[in-house]
Structure 1
């Protein structure tokens, strides 16, 4: 009989690439991960891993088993959701991941609704970069999370993760002067080709969005500052340190010296959780609370 815990380790190895990364993510030692995978190979009766020096890759049989592991883990998540549904209302810890602007604009009002309607729930919020959410969900560190994607930077479907759209918000060019009203998006951005730019830090979706939007307008931005906090970004713009592209939720207030020009670009926020957990009562409860907490100036989104 194949052990589910070992199947999870194999799935994580297929996603993370190294035994060390799996061990770090799941709080194991590398030797413990190796031992568990070796035991799984004996249970399977066929080689699942190929070892070349320090590198480990999956064999064709290993990849096949990972596909089955995804289905098994999703079905177990579904079983847990159905069992939880037999209890009297959502209860217990609920770990919610979110990016900072969503925490302020949507998570806080959603928590108020959750506490009022489901006093047995114990929501716990963790701010996390959307790029790390899938790993945290699969590892069980989060139960549900808000993630985002930008025009020019679509998200890639993650194994073991289910998503549903929540809302969309406009993007703005922040500068010291306002471009002509007749300027098209590409010419608005192109008009800043010689300006210094303020972007998020490399590796974030926001950074990639700015770079790609500028490249689509025909130039690569000359980056002077790399800052993730939008309030600080706007302060830098006000201090004539450069221009930036910011989302609506990143500008609840802005310095008087900053001019905002709306662009036909959007950031979309999505609710993510483990595959199979859609009907878990706690996931349903937080999803309803989040949908009721979307600011009126944003565009609500639903599944197609």
Structure 2
């Protein structure tokens, strides 16, 4: 019966087992040395040290050749299983920690599903075809909370005060202007730019608190010097655009959604004194920066950033 408390000689190491298996596969020192990228002398010393630690012979000498004994074949059989089990243990441990898992949990904003996310995700699938990408859409605030709690592997959001954290690594991707969105038949739709003070008595629709565009809208309204007449707050940008398209009210929106309802909604640039930009970027935890899945995602985000064309 196996004794789980049996002491194992500290000279019996995984590296020596791997060297032993390489020798058994190749049948001679030179080939084993080439495979392990070591010298013949180092291979020979490792085998001799393993025999000493086991307190039994594994080989007999015939000239300059080492001939495996029955004990060597027994050790080979069991060592192969040990190495396989170690590899599986390492993979499972790394997966449990979220490192190089088969699933990437990505969080982002609803507005980035228009052009940004489809491009990044399609490129990521080319790089890592076996990767299952789980996408969660939510507000900036909630996504940051989930990233901190390790519920998400990475997020693509607006970089602002809510995303500042010493545990985070950032990759800025692009900047996006904020526009006034009105129905295409609005009396303001023909303006090349707008002074927000002239719409202070109009009805507005906004996103709920926690969304980056809600925060930016608050800053802009403060610059304009009035509290807007808010008719409705919604929890996703597409519902907001639909309300504008239906003539329920107007809204402040990022330019990246310009292609949504473009036949019924007009985006009007704000005058320079109200100008504000959202900076969109990738965020992940610093201790995960060498994760192969995240490295692939970073590469795709950099590629997107390089070719990004802002809305006009």
Per the normalisation by structure 2, the TM-score is 0.59
Q: Are 1:258 and 2:265 matched, yes or no?
A: yes
Q: Distance in 2 between matches of 1:257 and 1:115?
A: 34
Per the alignment, in what secondary structure is the counterpart of residue 190 of structure 1?
Answer: helix
Per the alignment, in what secondary structure is the counterpart of residue 252 of structure 1?
Answer: coil
Verify the 8 A CA contact 2:104 2:133 in the aligned structure 1: yes
Change (3 A) 1:125 1:259: closer
Instruction: Specify the alignment match of 1:144 in structure 2.
Output: 154
Instruction: Specify the alignment match of 1:125 in structure 2.
Output: 135
Kindly report structure 1 stretches of 4+ aligned residues shifted beyond 4 Å: none
Q: CA deviation at 1:93?
A: 2.0
Q: Distance in 1 between matches of 2:247 and 2:135?
A: 35
Matched residue count? 207
Per the alignment, in what secondary structure is the counterpart of residue 191 of structure 1?
Answer: helix
Instruction: Specify the alignment match of 1:102 in structure 2.
Output: 112
Instruction: Specify the alignment match of 1:14 in structure 2.
Output: none
Change (3 A) 1:278 1:105: same
Per the alignment, in what secondary structure is the counterpart of residue 135 of structure 2?
Answer: strand
Per the alignment, in what secondary structure is the counterpart of residue 175 of structure 2?
Answer: strand
Verify the 8 A CA contact 1:237 1:258 in the aligned structure 2: yes
Q: Distance in 2 between matches of 1:179 and 1:216?
A: 23
Verify the 8 A CA contact 2:256 2:310 in the aligned structure 1: no
Instruction: Specify the alignment match of 2:295 in structure 1.
Output: 284
Change (3 A) 1:180 1:115: closer
Matches within 5 A, 1:220-299: 220-254=227-261, 256-263=263-270, 264-294=275-305, 296-298=308-310
Q: Unaligned 5+ residue runs, structure 2?
A: 1-89, 95-99
Give RMSD over aligned pairs: 2.8
Instruction: Specify the alignment match of 1:162 in structure 2.
Output: 169
Q: Distance in 2 between matches of 1:237 and 1:119?
A: 39
Verify the 8 A CA contact 1:99 1:129 in the aligned structure 2: yes
| Structure of higher RCO (CA pairs closer than 8 Å, 6+ residues apart) | 1
Q: CA deviation at 1:241?
A: 2.2
Verify the 8 A CA contact 2:141 2:162 in the aligned structure 1: no
Matches within 5 A, 1:68-79: none
Q: Distance in 2 between matches of 1:126 and 1:156?
A: 17
Q: CA deviation at 1:219?
A: 0.8
Match for residue 171 of structure 1 among 175, 178, 184: 178
Q: Unaligned 5+ residue runs, structure 1?
A: 1-79, 85-89, 300-304
Q: Distance in 1 between matches of 2:287 and 2:298?
A: 15
Cα deviation per residue 1:24-78 (whole Å; 9 max; x = unaligned)? Answer: xxxxxxxxxxxxxxxxxxxxxxxxxxxxxxxxxxxxxxxxxxxxxxxxxxxxxxx
Q: CA deviation at 1:200?
A: 0.8
Q: Distance in 2 between matches of 1:167 and 1:259?
A: 22
Q: CA deviation at 1:190?
A: 1.0
Q: CA deviation at 1:235?
A: 3.1
Q: Are 1:197 and 2:209 matched, yes or no?
A: no
Q: Distance in 2 between matches of 1:199 and 1:262?
A: 18
Verify the 8 A CA contact 1:106 1:290 in the aligned structure 2: no
Q: CA deviation at 1:255?
A: 5.2
Change (3 A) 1:200 1:113: same
Instruction: Specify the alignment match of 2:225 in structure 1.
Output: 218
Cα deviation per residue 1:150-184 (whole Å; 9 max; x = unaligned)? Answer: xxx64451242222211112221112223644x6x
